[in-house]
Amino acid sequence: MGRKLNNNQVDFNDKSNPFVRQAIWECHNGLCFYTQKPVALMDMQIDHILPESIKREKLEEYGLDQDFTLNSLENYVPSCRWANREKSNIVLPHTDLALKTAKRLAPEIRRKINILIQNIDFELVNQQSNLTFQVADKKRKNYTMNLRMKKKNLMKNITYMITKSLDYILHITTEKKTVLLSAFLPRFSDSGKGSCLIVFKTLRIRNCAITLGHEEILDILCSGRNTSPDLNLRKFIVCQDHHNQNIYYVQLGNVRFPLESETLQVLLEIVDDFANIYLNYLIDIDKHSASQLFQPSNYKNGFRLFKVKKDCGTC
């Protein structure tokens, strides 16, 4: 089963779309618009220059066209988390200059989105127990990654989206009934930057959202994967309720909450599928970089390439 995206499948004004985010980030040179300091693509937030809460009559003060919409590239700028939080819904001074900048860059951003779409082609192939994910770029050699999956119907539940900065970023979103998991896999240039977001949609803990970093994914989610809760090998399962055997207490990050056994089972299925993808992707990165051929160095995430011995003789 192959698929190639086209321009009609991407909403250019959807600021959550990876292609739109990538294009905005690149056209602003990877800088926060407000602080003019570098911001990582994965940490970047897209801010409305004019907040969505602004009244329509106020827009006339800035000489905007009748077809101007607040949720558009003409009103988007990249921001770091701190600046976006500080700005909130405030209309800052010199907003007119910010709007002019956004309007000037909007055509370039649209052009960049088109380029990203045209340069990216991917295929999802389901072969018994293996899911092969292939990324093809016109400027680079094809690279194939095998993700060993447990369930044949997993493709129906997981959506893959690719963006590109210095290297590929793989974004995975999977949703089953009451649990949603959205994650970024580590990049080849930095294997410690993976992260995931888990959202619960049950009546008991509706809209509860928890973010886990790379270390927590490996230590918490991957530990005891594919095992029954009764074996007590899952670090995030604290205990079973003594008074109600249908309730389990779960701790993810710094949040502890009760889950019914049915919701817990859904969580375990999603976590196991994701953990298998994550670990296999790390193994693939390791093979790609050939780091297994070298000994780890004393520096963080570094490897010793060669060793120069001191010679007592003359040089």
Q: Are 131 and 160 in contact (CB under 8 A)?
A: no
Are 73 and 184 members of one domain? no
- Quick check: 24 pLDDT over 90? yes
Name which of 49-63, 285-299, 301-315 the model is least confident about. 301-315
Q: What is residue 285's predicted lDDT score, i.e. its pLDDT? A: 72
Name which of 150-159, 193-202, 213-222 the model is least confident about. 150-159
Is 113 inside a domain boundary?
yes
Question: What's the pLDDT tens digit per position in 203-256?
Answer: 778 778 888 988 899 999 998 988 998 888 999 999 999 899 999 999 998 889
Q: What is residue 220's predicted lDDT score, i.e. its pLDDT? A: 93
- pTM over 0.75? The answer is no
What residue spans of 206-290 are helical by DSSP H? Answer: 214-216, 261-289
Structure tokens at 309: 């011995």
Are 102 and 196 members of one domain? no
Are 87 and 170 members of one domain? no
Question: What's the pLDDT tens digit per position in 72-94?
Answer: 999 999 999 999 999 888 888 88
Is 144 inside a domain boundary?
no
- Quick check: 280 pLDDT over 60? yes
Question: What band does 312 get if pLDDT is binned at 50, 70 and 90?
Answer: low
Are 288 and 171 members of one domain? yes
Does 152 or 215 have the greater pLDDT score? 215
Name which of 75-84, 168-177, 262-271, 275-284 the model is least confident about. 168-177
Rounded to 5°, angle at Cα 122 from 119 and 128: 170
Q: Mean of the pLDDT values across residues 271-289? A: 81
Is 140 inside a domain boundary?
no
Is 224 inside a domain boundary?
yes
Question: What's the pLDDT tens digit per position in 92-131?
Answer: 888 889 999 999 999 999 998 888 777 554 333 333 333 3
- Quick check: 133 pLDDT over 50? no
Question: What's the pLDDT tens digit per position in 171-192?
Answer: 777 878 889 888 888 766 555 5
**SS3 annotation, 126-170:** EECCEEEEEEEECCEEEEEEEEECCCHHHHHCEEEEEEECCCEEE
Q: What is residue 208's predicted lDDT score, i.e. its pLDDT? A: 81
Are 115 and 172 members of one domain? no
Is 129 inside a domain boundary?
no
Is 251 inside a domain boundary?
yes
Are 173 and 269 members of one domain? yes
Are 30 and 89 members of one domain? yes
Is 138 inside a domain boundary?
no
Please give the residue range of the domain that contains residue 173. 165-293
Is 241 inside a domain boundary?
yes
Are 6 and 110 members of one domain? yes
Domain finish residue from 81, 97, 119: 119
Strand partners, 235: none
Are 111 and 170 members of one domain? no
Query: What are 123-126's contacts with CB under 8 Å, separation 24+?
Result: 123/1, 123/2, 123/3, 124/1, 124/2, 124/3, 124/155, 124/160, 125/1, 126/1, 126/152, 126/155
Are 173 and 252 members of one domain? yes
Q: What is residue 187's predicted lDDT score, i.e. its pLDDT? A: 66
Q: By CB neighbour count within 10 A (0-12 exposed, 13-18 middle, 19+ buried), where does 87 fall?
A: middle
Domain count, the chain: 2
- Quick check: 284 pLDDT over 80? no
